[in-house]
Amino acid sequence: MEAETRIRLADPWFDDDEIEDVVAVLKSGRLVQGSHVAAFEKQVAEYLGVPEAVACANGTASLHLALLAIRLEPGDEVILPDFTFPSAANMIDAVGGVPVPVDIEPGTFNLDPSHVTEHITSRTRAIMPVHQFGLMADLPAIGAIAEEHGLLVFEDAACALGATGPGGEPGSASSGPRGIGQASAMACISFHPRKVITTAEGGMIVSRSAVFAERLRRLRNHGAHRERGRMTFDEIGFNYRMTEVQGALGTGQMRKLGAIIARRRELACVYDAELAGLPLRRPAVPEGYGHVYQSYVVVLDPALDRDRIVEALDHAGVESTLGAYALHMQPYYRRKYGLDASRFPNSRMAFRHSLALPIHQHMTETDARTVANVLRGVLTRA
């Protein structure tokens, strides 16, 4: 028998103000990329302390635009973690580039900087760390390697709005690194419903470079620029504009970002305490890092069958899923790039045994305890 109460993996939080804002947009008839999108861009830029923010249709579009903005040439290589959602690798491949996956650190799930240099070739153009599940990758180490080899760094920050590395809060002028977009060419954010804040679908690129921003704005709007009320098409672009409905949702979500992150951290704290002693590894947060827990992901003991655990949790009313994907194990990447599986032991382990547990604003600490108890029971019986 199915359990009656379900604790969902993710559950976006929209309040009456946001719903009214959306209705007002619909009534206004101004539906695409207007004042609400501009206000949302300004809010994110100010929050992160980064001068430029360019909103677009979704996180994948933001990655596509960023790769076009750096003018990635066919055959150019981009180093990224093997364990991730494949969106960034897909876009690198789609523009003719070569994704070069590198293994991850087992505790943080992030790109292991100690393996990056051995993958740099004469064709390497960029390194793209992914801040997995809302924890920033080691940007100081990655940035140092990039500088030594003359490479660009741009961040897949899909899950990491509000995350910080050592040194300060997003937007702070304190020395040392900080939030996304402050120590790279560009950072790409997603506002998909499972992300920290959501606009249903949505994305944004933040950058310190006005040159990149200008090109991103042109590429998201068919490659056109406006002159005396008329569009001129300088190059091939896309329709990756954000709608005003998304923009209105985004401004409301930004007002709540602090509360959303605080709640996620409280729930993570409960999980950390309640899951201690179970046959699993809890997420590591290195000293000085601020995790935003877009997902709370554990790695189960390899003797356990993760997919069966997901089924058993589901049966008991708790929604869960795998953490992310190992690129080298996906048929397309295996076929096209023939990657040597022995290079990715940590990614393979994370792909096979990671488990994302519910975490969202509507959950109470009691809910988190319930999830932990249900998991404890399931693991005991497994």
Ligand X SMILES: Cc1ncc(COP(=O)(O)O)c(C=O)c1O
Residues that bind ligand X (CB under 6 A): 58-60, 84-85, 87-88, 130, 156, 158-159, 190, 192, 203
Q: Which is nearer to ligand X, 325 or 372 (CB)?
A: 325
Nearest CA to 139 out of 124, 157, 153 is that of 153
Q: What is the Rg, in whole angstroms, of the alpha carbon atoms belonging to the chain?
A: 21
| DSSP states of 22-67 | HHHHHHH---BSSHHHHHHHHHHHHHHT-SEEEEES-HHHHHHHHH
Q: Which is nearer to ligand X, 59 or 237 (CB)?
A: 59
Give the distance from CA 65 to its chain's centroid: 16
Q: Which is nearer to ligand X, 106 or 167 (CB)?
A: 106
Q: Which is nearer to ligand X, 84 or 320 (CB)?
A: 84
Q: How far is the CB of 90 from ligand X (least distance, A)?
A: 9
Q: Which is nearer to ligand X, 319 or 365 (CB)?
A: 319
Q: How far is the CB of 106 from ligand X (least distance, A)?
A: 18
Q: How far is the CB of 86 from ligand X (least distance, A)?
A: 8
Are 163 and 291 in contact, with CB atoms under 8 Å apart?
yes
Q: How far is the CB of 141 from ligand X (least distance, A)?
A: 20
Q: How far is the CB of 150 from ligand X (least distance, A)?
A: 26
Sheet architecture: strand order including 186-190: 52-56, 203-207, 186-190, 152-156, 124-127, 77-81, 98-102
Q: How far is the CB of 379 from ligand X (least distance, A)?
A: 26
CA dist 265 and 296 (Å) reads: 10
Nearest CA to 95 out of 66, 79, 73 is that of 73
Cβ count within 10 A of residue 6: 13
The tokens describing 50, both together, are 């980064």
Q: Which is nearer to ligand X, 56 or 257 (CB)?
A: 56
Q: Which is nearer to ligand X, 18 or 156 (CB)?
A: 156
Closest-by-Cβ residue to ligand X is 59
Q: Which is nearer to ligand X, 54 or 158 (CB)?
A: 158
Burial readout 48-76 (b: 16 or more C-beta within 10 A, e: otherwise):
bbbebbbbbbbbbbbbbbbbbbbebeeeb
Q: How far is the CB of 130 from ligand X (least distance, A)?
A: 5
Question: Mutual orientation of helices 16-28 and 244-274 as an angle, nearest 10°?
Answer: 160
Q: How far is the CB of 43 from ligand X (least distance, A)?
A: 18
Q: Which is nearer to ligand X, 110 or 251 (CB)?
A: 110
Give the distance from CA 138 to its chain's centroid: 15
Question: Mutual orientation of helices 306-315 and 365-381 as an angle, nearest 10°?
Answer: 120
Q: How far is the CB of 52 from ligand X (least distance, A)?
A: 19
Integer CA distances (angstroms), 215 to 17, 225, 235, 252, 341, in order? 34, 10, 10, 28, 38
